[in-house]
């Protein structure tokens, strides 16, 4: 494989966790539930994924554990912010803080270490990859010849969620609830049920993102995970205007910033060499701020995004 194809493939590896988190945000916020706990959920899922793979001796077990814990933490967020109509940001921050502490503790408790877990079976291993050998020599297309299952999942998820949001009855109702839950309620839509569904599905998607981190290209959990990928995912969601396809493009832009940074570090000369590393790390956020203040096409959230819903009377 040539350098171009390699770089593109690597970009997809980088993009997958961001994209999953962004899709989680898209689903959740289209139903009006802001979920900044995505970061914490990724951390839970990244760890439990490794733990599951360690015990079950295969990554599928890890995936299952990761998704279950993601759904469970999502349910906590749902209970606080949907059923209880509490503040969604407070709930999210709380979950993130808890994730920080508990997982550090569990890492020590389970693996007797404070830094890295031992390597476990992971989806990046050659026999878990999706080989499409006949395209491997073709420029650009060749990048798709040896991707991990998780990357493919992330791309398929974009299509599925797009279809769900814009072509199914459920999707129409999700978006209605995010725009005007009172209107939806008066038409007999079960607002609570929809919000719960979107919160759990969003959390499960974020859990996929966490697993992509620890069982995707890496094969272990490091205590720094998910290194802000959940927040970058939310940034990608905003940059992508709360749509799945927008989230995909934004995730690719953000991931390629990382690739460019890696490439430049290796071979840059002149001015490019003098651009500080921090700039590339900050790029996703700078672009997002641009999207919010309307520099790169204005991003408008669903009208009732983040507003707790209580039934009247």
Partner 1 sequence: MKALELKGITKQFPRVLANDHINLSIEKGEIFSIVGENGAGKSTLMKIVYGLYTPTSGEIYVFGKKVNMKSPHDAIKLKIGMVHQEFMLIPRFTVTENIVLGDEPRKGIVFDFKRAVKEIREISEKFGLKVDPLEKVANLPVGIQQRVEILKILRRGAEILIFDEPTAVLTPEETEDLFKTLRALKKDGKTILFISHKLKEVMEISDRIAVLRRGKLQGVVKKEETNERELARMMVGREVVLEIPRVKVEKGPVVLSVRDLAAKDHRGILKLKGVSFDVHAGEIVAIAGVEGNGQMELVNSLIGFTRPVKGKIVLNGEEMKLITPYNVRRKGMAYIPEDRKRRGLVLPFKIRENIIMGQHTLYPFSKGGILNDKVINEFATKQVEEFDIRPRDIYINAGNLSGGNQQKVILAREMAMKHNFLLASQPTRGLDIGAMEFVYKHLIEEKKKGIAILLISLELSEVLGLADRILVMYEGEIVGETVPEETNEEELGMMMLGIKRKERLVQ
| CB-CB contact of 205 with 71 (8 Å) | no
Smallest gap from Cβ 229 to partner 1, in A, equals: 30
Smallest gap from Cβ 305 to partner 1, in A, equals: 12
CA dist 47 and 62 (Å) reads 9
Smallest gap from Cβ 167 to partner 1, in A, equals: 6
Nearer to partner 1, 95 or 176 (CB): 176
Smallest gap from Cβ 70 to partner 1, in A, equals: 24
Q: Tell me which residue of 99, 55, 47 sits closest to 74, measured CA to CA.
A: 99
| CB-CB contact of 207 with 46 (8 Å) | no
Nearer to partner 1, 173 or 229 (CB): 173
CA distances from 82 to 192, 196, 290 (A): 7, 7, 31
Q: Looking at the DSSP assignment, which residues form a beta bridge with residue 146?
A: 131
Nearer to partner 1, 5 or 28 (CB): 28
Q: Contact positions toward partner 1, by CB under 8 A?
A: 167-173, 175-176, 179-180, 182-189, 303, 312-313
Phi-psi category of 247—alpha, beta or left, where left has phi over 0 and alpha has psi -120 to 50? alpha
Nearer to partner 1, 105 or 163 (CB): 163
Nearer to partner 1, 18 or 31 (CB): 31
Burial bucket for residue 204 (CB in 10 Å: 0-12, 13-18, 19+)? buried
Nearer to partner 1, 59 or 302 (CB): 302
CA dist 56 and 27 (Å) reads 31
Nearer to partner 1, 36 or 191 (CB): 191
Nearer to partner 1, 282 or 300 (CB): 300
| CB-CB contact of 78 with 196 (8 Å) | yes
CA dist 175 and 252 (Å) reads 25
Who contacts 302 (Cβ-Cβ below 8 Å, separation ≥6)?
A: 29, 30, 32, 175, 178, 179, 242
**DSSP for 73-94?**
HHHHHHIIIIIS---HHHHHHH
Smallest gap from Cβ 161 to partner 1, in A, equals: 14
Smallest gap from Cβ 242 to partner 1, in A, equals: 11
Smallest gap from Cβ 309 to partner 1, in A, equals: 14
Q: Tell me which residue of 303, 268, 230, 257 sits closest to 31, measured CA to CA.
A: 303
183, 186, 192, 194 alpha-carbon torsion, rounded to 10°: -60
Smallest gap from Cβ 243 to partner 1, in A, equals: 12
């Amino acid at each position: 494989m040539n350098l171009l194809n390699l770089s593109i493939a690597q970009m997809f590896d980088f993009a997958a966790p961001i994209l999953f988190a962004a899709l989680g945000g898209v689903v959740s916020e289209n139903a009006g539930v802001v979920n900044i706990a995505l970061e914490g959920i990724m951390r839970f899922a990244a760890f439990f994924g490794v733990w599951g793979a360690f015990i079950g001796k295969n990554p599928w077990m890890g995936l299952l554990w990761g998704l279950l814990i993601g759904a469970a933490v999502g349910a906590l967020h749902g209970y606080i912010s949907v059923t209880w109509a509490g503040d969604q940001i407070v709930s999210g921050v709380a979950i993130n803080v808890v994730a920080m502490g508990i997982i550090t503790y569990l890492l020590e408790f389970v693996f007797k270490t404070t830094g890295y877990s031992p390597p476990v079976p992971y989806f990046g291993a050659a026999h878990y990859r999706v080989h499409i050998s006949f395209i491997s020599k073709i420029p650009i297309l060749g990048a798709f010849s040896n991707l991990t299952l998780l990357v493919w999942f992330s791309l398929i998820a974009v299509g599925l969620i797009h279809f769900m949001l814009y072509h199914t009855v459920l999707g129409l109702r999700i978006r209605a609830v995010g725009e005007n839950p009172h209107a939806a309620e008066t038409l007999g839509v079960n607002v609570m049920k929809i919000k719960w569904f979107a919160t759990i599905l969003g959390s499960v998607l974020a859990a996929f993102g966490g697993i992509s981190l620890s069982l995707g290209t890496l094969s272990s959990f490091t205590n720094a995970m998910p290194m802000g990928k959940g927040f970058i995912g939310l940034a990608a969601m905003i940059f992508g205007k709360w749509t799945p396809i927008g989230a995909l493009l934004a995730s690719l832009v953000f991931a390629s910033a990382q690739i460019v940074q890696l490439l430049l570090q290796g071979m840059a000369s002149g001015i490019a060499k003098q651009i500080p590393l921090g700039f590339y790390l900050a790029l996703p956020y700078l672009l997002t701020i641009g999207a919010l203040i309307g520099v790169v096409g204005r991003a408008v959230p669903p009208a009732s995004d983040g507003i707790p819903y209580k039934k009247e009377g």
